[in-house]
Chain A
């Protein structure tokens, strides 16, 4: 090559193509997104944050919380789960025999008879009992109908699967693009030195818990590796009379010297409000699941 122009052209076309694909394309698709509809409901998602929580995102950004915390839940797939909720007048052993004979005689169910039999193997009648866990909608519907005909009540639910979902309180479904509509800046994070926070508002909805956890993480979570964020609090001399309403109630080994009290600053309160606002609990078109509250 004799001419720098060809290098210029190669770089321009290469970077331009990737710009079209990975910047322009997503901006056209995601940059114009609006609120979406929650499944089986008239509600919209996501809900905009209120004042303190909106400002709390800026405290989160400023302190660099995303260096250790992600705000994204992954899932490996989704499964239909059929659960027996009421056995009606049947004895467990009879019902077991009936279901096994049903699943080995009805052609559509034959492929699943082993799984169903395995699920029922040690069953002594405790409820609710997961009868079948898998991906095919038709199997669940058919099995449910057959059982309904003999007076057994069942419940069919869609659940997300994966290690993140299986962790208690981490959320019922994967994070999707719609969840971040009102975030600026979007704080996805890339390291889980600390737990994921996309559902912390459901996991620990108490503002005072959040504040105490920020001031002294190990007073609430014994093995926590999180640094204390004491600079978000002010330690001041206690006034005469009753304690200040917003003073933290701390266990003895974390409490300040006698005659002093720990009071959250505005930033701490905003950050706690933001954390409590982090919820990812509604089913969406791209991440369906059956909420537990909906199943009565």
Chain B
């Protein structure tokens, strides 16, 4: 990764803790990564790994209990000024997983899409124009504005979700499992739409998913997260070619192959955290090769690199 590329978002030693002081639950335990302008950054892990929490912490839904988040070099976590807050809520948008649940079923598309514009002092005519444009941008007809969400199919609903984020003219979109709830044939449409929008508008994406096969197709770099810690981060092709951490390898082996013979021969790897002896040796977040980061103790790093990847 060339160092000239501009960092859009810097996450530094981010920690998120839920629960009370007596019974704290550490959902995110010191995560650091950078997202460069114009790239698609994948965050992959299983349910409960903290991947969504990170996304929500960046967009300021979940409070941060340690570390900080910088956006264009400015701190946006914790207490920030009103103007910055307004700027950030416009420039960072989110697309949610389940288009059935994330749209207000009692509101018309017109309101759902333009909700973010209310309170931003724009006229009614301009608002309607923006709604029509946002709908057109995601391949929906302007007359859909007067309908309710239940009148749409899953793929169309996810397009409405995307239109709602586009209307704010954001620079950075956090897509939290945007296609997990969709049919395979519709997934392709939504992924294509996202890449097309990226090309047209120079958007930066944080793409959160549990399925590595999808992420490989769309992401430039991928970070793998397990139990609130990043375990590996690399460019997509590098990660697929040389996975080092046993958890990454387990995730890769779980991708279903559309190929009966290979699939029946495939050996499923299961990650067993008890192989680590972190009470005796401390794991370090280290750069193994340029752009390829790994969480491992020195002994492990050496050992894993010796093993052939699969």
A and B physically associate: no
B residues at A contact (CB < 8 Å): none
